[in-house]
Structure 1
Amino acid sequence: MRWTASDFERLEPRLFRAFLAVVRTGSFSAAAADASLTQGAISQQIAKLEERLNTQLFVRAGNRVLTTMAGRLLAEHAQAYMDHTSRFLEELNEEFESMRGFVGYAMPESCIHAPHFGWLLERRKSHPDLVLGIELKPSAAVMADVLGGVVDFGFVNRAVEHPNVLAYPFCAEQYVLVAAATRPERMAPESLDALLSQPMIVYPGMLDCLNLWIARHFGEVDPISAVSLRVNGQFNDIRGALAMVTGDLGLTVLPLHVAAPSIEQQSIRVLASGRPIQATQQIWIVRLRDRRMPARVKRVIRWFLEMHTELQPVPEEFLT
């Protein structure tokens, strides 16, 4: 006979479990135990399959049951169907459960003042069972948390070269040297020595920004540490450091998106040299290469990446 699509449409997938049990065991009685059914139920279900396909699926050979060619072909189809259904249900259940639970990530403090964080909170409103745990710390500490498995992923403002880490570009951040607007006579330093002679305000992560600014304006030099600075104030919060600059305690280097509102209000100003130089740095999303990510973590990362569609498509390995 010739089988058609309509023949398969008449098949009931619920019959496949009994059928595959007979194929595996070569016995109706063993199949009954394997499938947690009675031997009578096994026989009835096999008979239904044979009736609907109008072909014999098994032949008896003594105490054994042998699978016919038609039976072997059906077994391939039935097993593929069962495997596909199982994967589908796993993915479906994971998707429905994906937005329930904890997602932890770490980032430099400046990132929380960027518009991305507000956009994330808007997305999160549709998923009340999603719990966000966010750590604010300099890039080096973020990398340590990612490598230690403390967080699901992180944001860093430096290039990443580590065999155990996957990195993907997120956005660019620009840094500016700022001073109080009440001191219009203060000029941009023309040399590294002139910069180091100025009173400086320090905050967590400021040295990363400063060293990038120095590299862009004065060329590559050994990284500057806090002991090389004339520290006139320090604050463990970037907004506090901004307030110190506004109060004319000293200079600091800030991400432009953090300084922009105060620049517009004319409470601080950018100290720019005569050369049109922009100190910019790529921000990266980083994650452990071999860490399995729940669907909810993948979804949050996708939310971030969708904020910069010019970076698509995202390599699938980053989200597996």
Structure 2
Amino acid sequence: MSSIRFFRTFVAVARSGSFAAASERVSLTPAAVSLQMRALEDDLGLTLFDRSGKIVSLSESGHRLLPRAEQLLALYDDLRDGPDGDHEVVGSINVGAVATSMAFLARAVLILREAHPKLKVQPAINFSGDLSLRVRAGELDAALAVKNAHKLPAGTQWTPLYTEPFVFIANRQSAGRADIGGLMKRRLFLRPSRSTHTGALIDAFVRRNRLRFGEFLEINSLRTMVELVQQDVGITIVPLTRAARWEDDPRLRVTYFDDPTAHRAVGLFESEARSHLTSALRRVLLDTIEQDDQLRQ
């Protein structure tokens, strides 16, 4: 039977992206980390990692397990801190969020303030820039943001919260049933700025699927792009954000892609030095997502 330390090692590997980096965090050799992960996989009957390349990455089962493992460790740490698992969190944290996740963060902050009145949380919206680097630099204690393909900055940890699928959006009246390829070539392509993580991910997706387009316009705001499609200015490919209701809009034709890589991952970046405070926010975010998912079922 797997122990708590196996799950702690699993989370360390998931956050750092390699057995070698995780070994430093859990004070084990890389070989011992590998053995623990094999034992955990055998115990659970799951393949948690993709070991086909030089970089270890989570499998689909690994991604599903990670938030549950985070919750398990949080519950264990609460029990260890006191007989009833109830302890006061005192301090202050600055938390950033991308614009599309700000409402989700605000809900969590209200819950957190009620549960831990002595923990001061200052949320701030961010429209550009790499929030993970701001966490690493100490400008933010945590950030709710999009994960890119780069290695996690040293001194930070990452907890995936949810994914948002990429969708093709066109004006329903003018697009009719025309295929995506034809519309991409004929209409103005409204694309997220490639200087952003989302823009870079969508650009890679478009190139990977060999989607051709003619005239294009780069825009920083997802909401602005969708509003322009509503006005029949052009077409776009954007992530279907968690709070969006674009599929219910009679002016829009929303099409999903048959591609498991067509999504962006949104999660919480935390400063490891401040995780004793930001972990309270992490638990609230995970609980909120679980409750939302139960309501949607």
SS at match of 1:266: coil
Partners of 1:108 and 1:205 lie apart in 2 by: 16
Matched residues in 2 for 1:188 and 1:309: separation?
36
- Alignment pair present for 1:248 and 2:232: yes
Matched, 1:261 2:252: no
Whether 1:201 aligns to 2:190 is yes
Flag the 1:196–1:203 CA change in 2: closer, same or farther, 3 A: same
- Aligned with 1:150: secondary structure? coil
Q: Is the 8 A contact 1:160 1:167 kept in 2?
A: no
Shift in Å at residue 294 of structure 1? 5.1
Q: Does 1:143 align with 2:124?
A: no
Which deviations, in whole Å up to 9, do the C-alpha atoms of 1:195-234 show, x marking residues without a partner? Answer: 366313355679644553454565278xx9xxx9621x74
Aligned residues: 204
2:168/2:237 contact within 8 Å kept: yes
Is the counterpart of residue 285 in structure 1 residue 285 in structure 2? no
The residue type paired with residue 288 of structure 2 is M
1:176 aligns with 2:157: no
The answer to whether the Cα contact below 8 Å between 2:171 and 2:232 also exists between their aligned partners in 1 is yes
Helix, strand or coil for the counterpart of 1:182?
helix
Secondary structure of 1:151's counterpart equals coil
Q: CA separation in 2, counterparts of 1:220 and 1:204?
A: 19
Q: Percent identity over the alignment?
A: 17
1:196–1:230 contact (8 Å) kept in structure 2: no
Asked whether the 8 Å contact 2:147–2:264 carries over to 1, the reply is yes
**Runs of at least 5 residues in structure 1 that lack an aligned partner in the other structure:** 1-87, 90-94, 311-320
Change in CA separation of 1:209 and 1:104 when aligned onto 2, cut-off 3 Å: same
Counterparts in 2 of 1:206 and 1:178: CA distance versus 1, 3 Å: farther
CA distance in 1, matches of 2:267, 2:95: 13
1:292 partner SS: helix
Structure 2: unaligned runs, 5 residues or longer: 1-80, 292-297
Q: How big is the alpha-carbon RMSD for the aligned residues of Structure 1 and Structure 2?
A: 4.1
Q: What letter corresponds to residue 270 of structure 1 in structure 2? A: V
CA distance change for structure 1 residues 309 and 97 in 2, over 3 Å: closer, same or farther? Answer: closer
With over 3 angstroms needed to count, the CA separation of the structure-2 counterparts of 1:208 and 1:190, relative to structure 1, is farther
- TM-score, normalised on structure 2? 0.53
In 2, distance between residues paired with 1:298 and 1:272?
34
Q: Shift of residue 176 of structure 1?
A: 0.8
Could you give the per-residue CA deviations for residues 40-83 of structure 1, whole angstroms, max 9, x where no partner exists?
A: xxxxxxxxxxxxxxxxxxxxxxxxxxxxxxxxxxxxxxxxxxxx
TM-score (ref. length: structure 1): 0.50
CA contact (8 A) 1:168 1:286 kept: yes
Choose 171-180 or 156-165, whichever is displaced more: 156-165
Report what 1:304 is aligned to. 285
Residue 230 in 1 paired to residue 216 in 2?
yes
Alpha-carbon distance between aligned partners in 2 of 1:163 and 1:122, rounded to the nearest angstrom: 29
What's 2:93 paired with?
A: 103
Paired with 1:158 and 1:258, the residues of 2 have a C-alpha distance of: 18
Query: Alpha carbons of 1:271 and 1:169: their partners in 2 closer, same or farther (altered >3 Å)?
Result: closer
* 1:181 and 1:267 in contact (8 A); partners too: yes
Contact 2:94 2:124 in 1 (8 A): yes
Give the number of the structure whose alpha-carbon radius of gyration is greater: 1
Deviating beyond 6 angstroms after TM superposition, the runs of 4 or more aligned structure 1 residues are none
Name which of 185, 189, 212 aligns with 2:180. 189
CA 1:183–1:119 in 2, change beyond 3 Å: closer, same or farther? farther
Q: What is the alpha-carbon distance in structure 2 between the residues aligned to residue 166 and residue 137 of structure 1?
A: 22
Q: Which position in structure 2 is the counterpart of 1:167?
A: 158
How far does residue 163 in structure 1 lie from its aligned partner after superposition?
A: 5.1
What is the Cα deviation at residue 171 of structure 1?
1.5
Distance in 2 (CA, whole Å) between partners of 1:97 and 1:174 is: 36
Give the CA deviation at 1:126.
5.1
CA apart distance, 1:247: 1.0
**Distance in structure 2 (CA, Å) of the matches to 1:188 and 1:103:** 48
